[in-house]
């Protein structure tokens, strides 16, 4: 059995998908431990996994980032915020992560690092500590392709001659202008640590340095690439670990009263209910449509008092696997895990979100006609209503989601991840007699 260290950027969407892999490897007898920010300490220890805290690394997370980096909120535009995040939250933290893991390795020499694909300490751990590393793709593939527009701009692929030439120019512009500062900063840190910088796009650095990339999802939710890296392995939707216990859905008789049911959430990161929850509730209050809204525990009593209508149900939390089979449409900000779960439950989507990489996820929803991409961070009630009505009226969306859901079922994430990791570490899997 092997000593396996997990690590993640301190965001829910980067942590949750890794839990199912970690618990599966733990069940096989591997010595599994986890390095992460203090926000995940209780969750990690609750899984029975030893926890290592950020020490040299800044202990930031999705909730305190606005306090630690107040200037971020003043930066206009999606690209401006992305550039700031790349520098402040990711690249500048990379060597801090490495120093922490180097100290961990001194007392517990591990065999393998498994991290989310955005964990910037990974290349330093791989090359300076001579470790095997596996990355987990917790959002759509970001590696550069000659067939696609540049990552980060939420542009969908073109197949025409002029469209492809435009993509070529945009990739050049993104590399040399938009993301040049971030690439240069990462390259300088590599040089300071005696490493050879990775040439090309900033989004390719981690993918090129990893030994293996286990990509959550399936090819049906990814743009076609003729130059896909040989390191990429699609493993199906990686969802959070669950003990499998069923929770009672305390919705009374409401579900049976309505022909159409809408589920709406805006994830765990977004605290402002005015972005998606309120517009959706405004769009459908006092109608013949049942709206089920989950807040993640943020301002639930206030929203319940504000929307006392019979056709509106607002809860802190509802197990999505329990409620989604009863729903017809999923209104979301585009968190990758929630989108995977919605597709798995055959729900067409209405998506509104452009920051934190959600623009790329939502662009795929629109491109593959799995739902409607509203292409905004602040949808109006009219936009939400029009999006819902569109996916309900056009059976193409439901049909496409069902097709992709069937593709999901062809993948067993835990067994595939184990197989690929065993191959990397040259572990002989016991044969059943």
Buried/exposed 12-34: b ≥16 CB within 10 Å, e otherwise = bbbbbbbbbbbbbbbebebbbbb
The superfamily CATH assigns to domain 260-409 is Glycogen Phosphorylase B; (3.40.50.2000)
Residue ranges per structural domain of the chain: 3-236+411-425, 260-409
pLDDT at 153: 83
pLDDT digits (tens, 9 = 90+) for 197-242: 988 788 899 999 999 999 999 999 999 999 999 999 999 999 999 8
Q: Consecutive sets of 10 residues in the chain, 433 residues long: mean pLDDT of each?
A: 95 94 96 97 97 95 83 83 89 97 97 96 96 96 92 89 93 88 93 90 90 97 95 95 66 80 82 90 95 89 94 90 92 93 96 89 97 95 97 97 97 95 78 40
Give the β-pairing of 132-137 and 289-294: unpaired
CA distance 100 to 123: 14
Shared fold status for 3-236+411-425 and 260-409 = yes
Q: Which CATH superfamily is domain 3-236+411-425 in?
A: Glycogen Phosphorylase B; (3.40.50.2000)
C-alpha distance across the termini of the chain, in Å: 21
pTM (global) more than 0.85? yes
Query: What is the pLDDT, as a whole number, of residue 268?
Result: 64
Sheet containing 349-351, strands listed edge to edge, beginning at the edge strand earlier in sequence: 312-315, 289-294, 260-265, 329-332, 349-351, 371-373
Q: What are the tens digits of pLDDT across the range 292-315? A: 999 988 889 999 999 999 999 999
């Amino acid at each position: 059995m092997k000593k396996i260290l997990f690590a993640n950027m301190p965001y829910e969407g980067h942590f949750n998908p890794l839990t199912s892999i970690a618990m599966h490897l733990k069940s096989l007898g591997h010595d599994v431990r986890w390095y992460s920010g203090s926000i995940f300490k209780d969750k990690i220890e609750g899984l029975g996994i030893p926890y290592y805290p950020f020490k040299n690394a800044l202990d930031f997370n999705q909730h305190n980032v606005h306090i630690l980096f107040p200037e971020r909120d003043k930066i206009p535009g999606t690209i401006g915020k992305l550039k700031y995040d790349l520098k402040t939250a990711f690249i500048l933290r990379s060597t801090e992560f490495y120093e922490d893991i180097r100290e961990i390795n001194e007392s517990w020499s591990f065999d393998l690092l498994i991290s989310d694909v955005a964990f910037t300490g990974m290349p330093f751990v791989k090359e300076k500590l001579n470790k095997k590393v596996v990355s987990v793709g917790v959002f759509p593939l970001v590696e550069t392709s000659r067939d696609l527009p540049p990552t980060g701009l939420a542009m969908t692929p073109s197949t025409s001659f002029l469209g492809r030439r435009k993509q070529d120019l945009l990739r050049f512009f993104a590399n040399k202008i938009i993301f040049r500062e971030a690439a240069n900063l990462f390259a300088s840190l590599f040089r300071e640590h005696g490493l050879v910088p990775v040439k090309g796009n900033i989004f390719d650095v981690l993918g090129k340095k990893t030994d293996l990339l286990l990509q959550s999802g399936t090819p049906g939710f990814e743009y076609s690439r003729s130059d896909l890296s040989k390191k990429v392995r699609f493993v199906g939707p990686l969802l959070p670990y669950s003990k499998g216990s069923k929770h009672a859905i305390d919705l009374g008789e409401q579900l049976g009263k309505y022909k159409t049911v809408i589920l709406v959430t805006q994830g765990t990161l977004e605290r402002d209910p005015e972005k998606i929850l309120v517009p959706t509730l405004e769009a459908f209050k006092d109608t013949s449509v049942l709206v089920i809204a989950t807040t993640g525990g943020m301002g639930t009593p206030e929203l319940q008092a504000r929307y006392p209508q019979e056709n509106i149900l607002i809860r802190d939390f509802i197990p999505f696997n329990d409620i989604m089979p009863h729903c017809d449409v999923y209104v979301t900000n585009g968190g990758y895990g929630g989108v995977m779960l919605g597709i798995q439950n055959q729900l067409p989507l209405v998506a509104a979100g452009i920051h934190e990489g959600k623009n790329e996820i939502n662009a795929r929803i629109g491109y593959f006609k799995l739902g409607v991409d509203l292409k905004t961070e602040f949808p109006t009630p009219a936009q939400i209503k029009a999006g819902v009505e569109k996916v309900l009226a056009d059976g193409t969306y439901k049909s496409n989601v069902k097709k992709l859901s069937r593709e999901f079922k062809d993948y067993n994430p835990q067994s595939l991840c184990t197989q690929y990791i065993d191959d990397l570490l040259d572990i002989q899997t016991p044969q059943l007699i």
